[in-house]
Amino acid sequence: MKITDIKVKSFLTYADRWDQGHALPKPDTELMQTVLTIETDEGVSGHFIGGGTHGDQEGLNNVDQNLILGRIRDLLIGQNPLDREMIWQWLLVAWFPENVASVIDNALWDLAGRMTNLPVYKLIGGARDKVKAYASTYPNIGKPKVYAEHALACKKEGYIAYKIHPHYFWNPETGKPTPGRPSNIKADIETIHLVREAVGPEYVLMYDPWGTYMSVEETIKVGRELEKLNYYWYEHPMPEYRVESYVRLCRELTIPILSPEIIAGGVFSRADWMLRGASDMTRIDVIRGGITGARKTAIVAEAYGIRCELHMAGWGNLQVMGATSEDTSEYYEKGLLAPGVDYDKQHPYLKNNCDKIDTEGYVHLPQKPGMGYEIEWDYINDNIIDPTTFVRKTI
């Protein structure tokens, strides 16, 4: 089997989003989505939808597409698509952007699953068929009491855990952006107390200020409050280029520190953080090394007896979790969520969503081959756009 072509289709779609600067829902926001397809001489193709800044939820930009349709396409045509590790290494040493290399790897896994008629997690080696889901908020969903109300609503909906992305680059008192002061410690501490009061002492809570605490002192101050309130983890509180500050943080606090979240380097940077004692749990997703890289990271974490929690929602992350023990990767991040945002609204380009929760708060692994996509090609082809102009094309 040989790769014969790589294609990317850009198309318009719609989804509910959140206006983080004004704390308002943005229903049916127009978005550019992409589907990358790897074709073979045996008629089997693999696909990956998304690859932008938030994983599955938006498409590849024009620069990334040009890399794929130029250098990468030339490199991979004629290669065996089952040589995923070889291709992963090629793209790694060629210094392609992580998300660009990742969509190739993810599509190759989808192709292998379609060829064998297996979901990817069974192809890797299945560990479980359902995973625990937590509700993960947008930042700036409102004043502290809004978080408490939303957390209680999510608990009643069936989520078995809740994660706060608090107030950053936004002042909840004035309702206005604060670009020069990313964090709002006073409101954040009030939020974590009100949320705990709303959901009760046993409910699982997580906290992620997304690297916006600018000093170790304020980071520790919030961390002490999280410890008092029995929060489960403290995620990415400071900029992740300050690794030594994270080493100190892990020494100072008893709450597990979950990082790095977004730095480059995939499995390699995560392994370094583990060895340096800069994190108590690690974090990865399939846009930072593909399914191959995420699986490698989970295995390294398992070897050291620490958790590797998957970052963001999405089809590929679910497949990695299905092939990983709950002792290593416990919770699936569903979101981002906010009042008035219908996350579960059906995407018009797919027949099925990947992560609806059941009555017990679990998401069940997709059972269709590969990633599990059932793609609505008619919708995609009717909404093709030029990625540089967003102008519709005629097929």
Give the domain CATH number at 245: 3.20.20.120
Based on the domain organization, do 187 and 328 belong to the same domain? yes
Domain-located, residue 393: no
Domain-located, residue 43: yes
Based on the domain organization, do 129 and 275 belong to the same domain? yes
Domain-located, residue 291: yes
Domain-located, residue 394: no
Domain-located, residue 387: no
Q: pTM for this structure?
A: 0.97
pLDDT by residue (tens digit) across 348-369?
Answer: 999 999 999 999 999 999 999 9
Domain-located, residue 391: no
pLDDT by residue (tens digit) across 285-304?
Answer: 999 999 999 999 999 999 99
Based on the domain organization, do 166 and 102 belong to the same domain? no
Based on the domain organization, do 170 and 88 belong to the same domain? no
DSSP-derived letter for residue 40 is E
Based on the domain organization, do 148 and 294 belong to the same domain? yes
Inter-residue contact 315 to 366 (CB < 8 Å): yes
Q: CA nearest 62: which of 394, 386, 392? A: 386
Task: Give the domain extent around 79.
Answer: 3-118+372-382
Alpha helices in the chain (DSSP H): 62-67, 73-76, 84-93, 98-116, 120-124, 144-157, 185-199, 216-228, 243-252, 266-276, 290-303, 315-322, 377-382
Which CATH number goes with the domain that contains 71?
3.30.390.10
Domain-located, residue 395: no
Inter-residue contact 207 to 137 (CB < 8 Å): no
Domain-located, residue 351: yes
Provide the number of structural domains found in the chain. 2
Inter-residue contact 34 to 63 (CB < 8 Å): no
Based on the domain organization, do 192 and 320 belong to the same domain? yes
Q: Can you read off the two tokens belonging to residue 147? A: 């978080």
Based on the domain organization, do 90 and 192 belong to the same domain? no
Based on the domain organization, do 59 and 141 belong to the same domain? no
The per-residue pLDDT string of the chain (395 residues; one tens digit each, 9 = 90 and over) reads: 999 999 999 999 999 999 998 899 999 999 999 999 999 999 999 999 999 988 899 999 999 999 999 999 999 999 999 999 999 999 999 999 999 999 999 999 999 999 999 999 999 999 999 999 999 999 999 999 999 999 999 999 999 999 999 999 999 999 999 888 899 999 999 999 999 999 999 999 999 999 999 999 999 999 999 999 999 999 999 999 999 999 999 999 999 999 999 999 999 999 999 999 999 999 999 999 999 999 999 999 999 999 999 999 999 999 999 999 999 999 999 999 999 999 999 999 999 999 999 999 999 999 999 999 999 999 999 999 999 887 887 65
Based on the domain organization, do 83 and 221 belong to the same domain? no
DSSP state string for 113-166: HHHHT-BHHHHH----SEEEEEEEEPS--SSHHHHHHHHHHHHHHT-SEEEE--
Give the mean pLDDT of the chain: 96
Based on the domain organization, do 174 and 293 belong to the same domain? yes
Based on the domain organization, do 81 and 100 belong to the same domain? yes
Based on the domain organization, do 223 and 257 belong to the same domain? yes
